[in-house]
Structure 1
Amino acid sequence: MKEKGKLLGAWALVAAMGMPISANAALQTLSSLFVFGDSLSDGGNSGLITGGAYPPPPYYNNQYSNGPVAVEYLWQSYNGNVPFAPSLAGGTNYAVGGATSGVLGLAPPPTPEFGNAWQLQQFKQTAPTFDPATSLFVIWLFPNDVFRADANGVLPGTAWGVPGGPLPEAGGLTNPANASALIANGVQNISYAVSELANAGAQHFLVPNMPDLGKTPDRLGTPDEAGLSVLSQTFNFYLAQAMSQLDATLTSAEIVQFDTFATFASVQQDPGAYGIRNTTQQCILNPSACAADNYQWLFWDGVHPTTYAHEILGAEFRAAVPEPESIFLVAIGLLGIVVTGRQRRKQRT
């Protein structure tokens, strides 16, 4: 997701955050990771699209943080330093900053048509080979649907390429009819993506829900905070229903849902348990204070997490889809992050 629009350890800890801890999705190795998403997952596609211009320093490597993002940490937890490249560099991370669940992206930067529809089309056109038993498909979208609707009064279109139109009624997202239409469109788009990828042979899915957009530094304490929190929760409710129905229907596939909303809420309620030293300010606007805290803040900018927070998310993603024999070891590894708040490497530029 991008900053746009005015609206804006251990077993007990894992369970408390609402994370899935079942070992149903038994990935003993991860040979391939396919990611469809926005700036929370962008591994460099935005930079490749813009000729290296966006996002500029001090953002890391044309990504929307000060270091790697959660899906990259997830990949590293299985494969160490084996490269995990963005799709435009020949890899399987299709995420693009600003992507919506449909056709549209955000502009600026100039990524207006690099939404979920483009990402799915790229996957189909490149037709990568993969072992379904050891491949994971991550689909993490929707915040930019909200930002685009708020900024321009439009729906983002569909995941199968139909352009969006205006919101059905006047009043923007404060009108319940418009918010409902936006949510229904987003849930339908994510459901379509799962179904299409399952038809292509995908068996293992990880579908994180949306964080609380009202609790980001960009909107915390503003008149938009409460409305964005309700919208986030409502979307997550209907997404969970849809994914549960798909999980029951797609007998050859398994969908693990990850509760991003609850995870961020847990961090914000007890940041010290995670080694987080600031949950309300933007690191990028307070570089000296953030550096003094070893970059162990929750947010890098108005809406994007720091790489320290992304590493926590990546460990929790891994815990959500563990192999049966190592779930306890994963929990111990998460405990190491949470309890010690170990020293992060300094910001890379």
Structure 2
Amino acid sequence: MQYSSYLLELLGLWLFIFLLFNIINPIPIAATTRMKLPPNVTVPAIFGFGDSIIDPGNNNNLNTLSKSNFPPYGKDFMGGIPTGRFSNGRIPTDFIGVSFASGGSGYDPLTSTISSVLSLSEQLEYLKEYKARVREMVGEERTEYIMKNSMFLVVAGSVDIAISYFDIPIRRIMYDVDGYASFLANSSSTFVQDLYELGARRIGVFSTLPIGCLPSQRTLAGGISRKCVENYNNLAQVFKSKLAIKLDSLSNSLRDAKLVYIDFYTTLLDMIQHPLNYGFEQVTRGCCGTGLIEVAESCNKFDTVCSDDTKYLFWDSYHPTERGYELLSTTLLNKYINGFF
């Protein structure tokens, strides 16, 4: 299997710098976020895997339409530079860690093939590359300490549901809703076990988004009134139930592992259903363009943007704004953080 030399060099440099500063002058994770760690707990690093929710620009040099390294993306990022993050500013991993994720990826191998992006198995290969480089720098013992005590977060499944199941007929021919949810849950379980084999012990796995309530899906399948799409959300709910059961089972079989199921679905849905509780005024449209369908290349420099993106939960028709991401990240991690220790 061949991997992009550019990405290997970029990830290598990025993680080298992160690790170097962490070894010489460790930075408490809690000090850089609103995350509250238990007393006397060390987290050397936080790593992310999955899709566009936590992709910091890993797709920029891939031959794919699933990228966002152009305006108006990044308008509120440092210097107003579009970096490939699918938002107006920072994304979850900017609040909590670093990421191997690739926008358009998922648990279903078909998903990354359709989007021409990095599959989860390829992301895992980059982790192996990272681990080998760290071992060269600091030795085996310190490397295993970093792997054992770092947090590994997996955010995937949403693109599988939106694209591979509902947009492409082959999966609906092969699986009913329950069957596809089981397929995704099994794939997630396998990925968690692969992380464990590489030395990870603190692993958090996110449920999907409430896919049917995203602006794009409301537009495409929600009818003239753009209601939340029940069959999309139904599959997401079946999957999240199966995922929670899988992780609970793995917790009993993987020695010393701390596996945490993180309910992304319910938290984001609450923001959508009760926006004023979070300070949002618009939750059914994105800030970019009409807010109905624009995402990735269809959200570009020719589109106007809303005057105040802090009032919007979504930046484009699929991804939250920086403010939405910050609220989601801090809410979820503070809720689930103790499960990692």
Instruction: Report the Cα offset of residue 67 of structure 1.
Output: 1.1
Q: Is the 8 A contact 1:103 1:114 kept in 2?
A: no
Tell whether 2:260 aligns with 1:262: no
1:134 partner amino acid: N
Q: Provide the residue aligned with 2:212 in structure 1.
A: 214
Aligned in 2, Cα 1:72/1:154: closer, same or farther, shift over 3 Å? farther
Q: How far 1:144 sits from its partner (Å)? A: 1.5
1:58 aligns with 2:56: no
Q: Which of the two has greater helix per residue?
A: 2
Question: Could you say if the C-alpha distance between residues 114 and 243 of structure 1 is closer, same or farther in structure 2, counting changes exceeding 3 Å?
Answer: same
> After TM superposition, where is structure 1 displaced by more than 6 Å over at least 4 residues in a row?
287-290
1:105-120 → structure 2 map (5 Å cutoff): 105=111, 111-120=115-124
In structure 2, relative to structure 1, the CA distance for the partners of 1:72 and 1:29 (3 Å cut) is: farther
Cα distance, 1:321 vs structure 2: 4.7
Give the counterpart letter for 2:153 in structure 1. Answer: V
State the SS of the aligned residue for 1:295. helix
CA contact (8 A) 2:309 2:315 kept: no
Which among 120, 125, 128 is matched to residue 121 of structure 1? 125
- How far apart, CA to CA, are the structure 2 residues paired with 1:105 and 1:48? 19
Q: Look up the equivalent residue of 2:247 and give its one-letter code.
A: M
Counterpart residue number, 1:336: none
- Is 2:187 aligned against 1:189? yes
Q: What are the residue-to-residue correspondences of 1:253-292 with 2, within 5 Å?
A: 253-286=257-290, 291-292=306-307
Larger relative contact order (Cα-Cα within 8 Å, sequence gap ≥ 6) = 1
Q: Which residue of 2 aligns with 1:233?
A: 237
Q: What is the SS of the residue equivalent to 2:259?
A: strand
Same amino acid, percent of matched pairs: 22
Residue 68 (1) aligns with residue 84 (2)? no
Alpha-carbon distance in structure 1 between the residues aligned to 2:265 and 2:42: 27
Which SS does the other structure have where 1:281 is aligned?
strand
- Cα distance in 2, alignment partners of residues 228 and 294 from structure 1: 27
CA offsets 1:23-47 (integer angstroms, 9 cap, x no match): 8x88833322221110011011011
SS at 2:46 equivalent: strand
CA change 1:198–1:266 in 2 (3 A) is: same
| Equivalent AA in structure 1 for residue 181 of structure 2 | I
CA deviations on 1:36-75 (whole Å, 9 max, x unpaired) are 1100110110113259993232122212111111122123
- Aligned residue for 1:49, secondary structure, equals coil
State whether residues 313 and 321 of structure 2, in contact with CA within 8 Å, keep that contact through their aligned partners in structure 1. Answer: yes
Contact 1:69–1:311 at 8 Å: present in 2 too? Answer: yes
Show structure 2 runs of 5+ residues with no match. Answer: 1-34, 75-82, 135-142, 292-302
> What is aligned with 2:60?
47
CA contact (8 A) 1:37 1:116 kept: yes
Task: Indicate how the Cα distance of structure 1 residues 216 and 258 shifts in structure 2: closer, same or farther if over 3 A, else same.
Answer: same
- The 2-side partners of 1:241 and 1:63 are apart by 32
- C-alpha RMSD of matched pairs (Å): 3.1
In the alignment, which residue of structure 2 is the partner of 1:341? Answer: none
Q: CA deviation at 1:113?
A: 4.9
Number of residue pairs the alignment of both structures matches = 268
Matching residue of 1:153:
169
